[in-house]
Structure 1
Amino acid sequence: MSIILLLVIGVFTGATTVLFGFGGGFVTVPVILWLGAQAGAGGAVTAVATSAVVMAVNAAVATAATPRRVLTELRGTRSLFIFLALGGALGALAAAAAPGALIAWGFVGYLAVTILDALVRPGFLRPAGAGGRRAGRERFAIHPALGTPIGALASFLGVGGSVMTVPLMRRAGHSMMTAAALANPLTLAVAVPAFAVFLLTSHAPAQAGIWAVGAVDLGAALALLAGSVPVVVLWRRRPPRLPDRLHAWGYIALLLAVLCVVVAQLG
């Protein structure tokens, strides 16, 4: 039954990858926390590590399926990708050594701050305007210096960084669909080095058995990816058309739902 559940959740994970650029992290972490509840504090590390695998694959597939004209917005951002990758590796190293409670409650705090920021600060629910896209060609919405802290926090919590990068791109004037599409390659830069670190760590998930590699539960990751990858391929090529403001509200609603689920689990 767990396999069937993971496949179904994988489909939802693929949808969030396309619609919001999450790569699946915000769905994967609560799911693995729930399935690995018996693992105790170590379950949080397993959740983050498994999330990194799912995000790396989903983000790679979504990036490959994104039209080239959209990806041209990333020209001149090589240094940002380098710093994101550096942060991704550092955050994974910290997560492998951190108490599980710190990761789990850090995830909750991160969600809460992000939701409040999107609701209170101007520019997310209604982007800056059409000039943002033109300005983005001159200077990308995310400064390279932010790459390391974004990558470190994202890989430490297993979230890929999209919840920081999408709002930044929204405030630069991008539509939700463009911001989500651009968040996928940025997530990939964070998730790949994090994935590598977690594979090499000595921590092993208590419930994964022969499917455990490092801190990663590969069985859960493969089941999630079996559900998510076909959705990513299909929807990235033919994305659903949503009104931009409704799309932005959907982003906030999903984060709020995940927040409630994780708080209930930890309570």
Structure 2
Amino acid sequence: MLIEISVLLGFGCLSGVTTVLFGFGGGFITVPVVYAFALAEPGQALGAMHVAVATSTAVMVVNAGSATLGQLRSGRLRRDYLWPLIAFIGLGAVLGSFAATAADESVLRWLFVAYLALTIADSVVRKGFVSRREDTRPRPLGGLTTTAGGAGIGAVASFLGVGGSVLTVPLLRRKGLPMADAAALANPLSLPVAVIGTAVYAFAATGTTSGATHLGYVDLVAAGALLCGSLPTIAVIRRMVGRIPDRVHAIAYLGLLAAALIAIVVR
């Protein structure tokens, strides 16, 4: 158990880095690692992906909330990109969370893989993500993007337990925002997904989890260890925001997605 906790603490630190620099909230880091540990638990394999997704959303509530407070103080959060998009993301999150609790385990895992692969391919092929001209002026979100797009982001993100940053960051990037600002906005935009998803998973009847170490599908021990690593890291790393060259920041974002894709496929 000591080795497992140490590994989770390490990945918690990594999730803190990705929360601040990429707006992930920890989803792409916590889902693969919690999935691996859940598979190793006796009698847990059938619900391993559900436990991983649920624990990820619980960690994101704290990580994204902490990062949002810091970015609010820094002045990087722009209201015109937050509202009303965040409301429609919350609406979609309700639908996605309930759908995920009823989804087949293998379907949930491979949808996660497909989701990552398509995002990486789209960001590489389409112009505007990796490279951004310095004189680019940010463009406002359209009505259809805010409503239908927001609901879709919330549904997909809560279904897969990834917070939505993989959709909101590319979206805001193509609207002309620097990576630092797009990643900053991804944290508050992930909060409704995390809060709603955690509430649904916490009260779901699992049939495969039990005891004081779980709240519904949420693994409380894994979540606690991850947060012990992530919260101090968030406090340190947020001082680096804005110092990384924009192109390097964008390429690093795609590299982290690729690493998460490999991890979940290998398992």
TM-score, with length taken from structure 2: 0.92
Partner of 1:253: 255
- In 2, distance between residues paired with 1:82 and 1:189? 8
- C-alpha deviations, 1:105-125, integer Å up to 9, x for none? 111000000000010011100
Distance 1:251 1:78 in 2: 25
**Taking every aligned residue pair, what percent have the same amino acid on both sides?**
46
1:94–1:128 CA distance, 2 compared to 1 (3 A)? farther
Moved more, 78-87 or 30-39: 78-87
Name the counterpart of 1:193: 196
Q: Which residue among 99, 103, 106 is the counterpart of 2:104?
A: 99
Say which of 11, 15, 29 aligns to 2:13: 11
Shift in Å, 1:87: 1.3
Q: Equivalent residue of 1:210, what SS?
A: coil
The residue aligned with 1:169 is: 172
DSSP 3-state at the match of 1:202: coil
Q: Indicate if the aligned counterparts of 1:141 and 1:169 stay in contact, CA closer than 8 A.
A: no
Provide the rounded CA distance (Å) in 2 between the counterparts of 1:119 and 1:76.
24
- One-letter amino acid of the structure 1 residue matched with residue 76 of structure 2: V
After the TM superposition, which segments of 4 or more aligned residues of structure 1 sit over 4 Å from their partners? 138-142
Q: Distance in 2 between matches of 1:214 and 1:181?
A: 30
Tell me whether 1:144 sits opposite 2:154 in the alignment. Answer: no
Q: Work out whether residues 211 and 218 of structure 1, in 8 Å CA contact, stay in contact via their aligned partners in 2.
A: yes
AA of the residue aligned to 1:186? L
- Correspondence for 2:131: 126
Query: Shift in Å at residue 128 of structure 1?
Result: 5.7
Work out the CA distance in 2 between the residues paired with 1:95 and 1:127. Answer: 36
Unmatched tracts of structure 2, length 5 or more = none
Deviation at 1:234, TM superposition (A): 2.3
Matched positions, count: 261
For residues 205-261 of structure 1, the C-alpha deviation after alignment (integer angstroms, 9 at most, x for no partner) is 54x742100110011011101100111122224437211111111111111111111
Can you list the C-alpha shifts for 1:133-177, whole angstroms capped at 9, x where unaligned?
Answer: 3x34x8699523211111110011111000000001111111111
The answer as to whether partners of 1:108 and 1:259 remain within 8 angstroms in 2 is yes
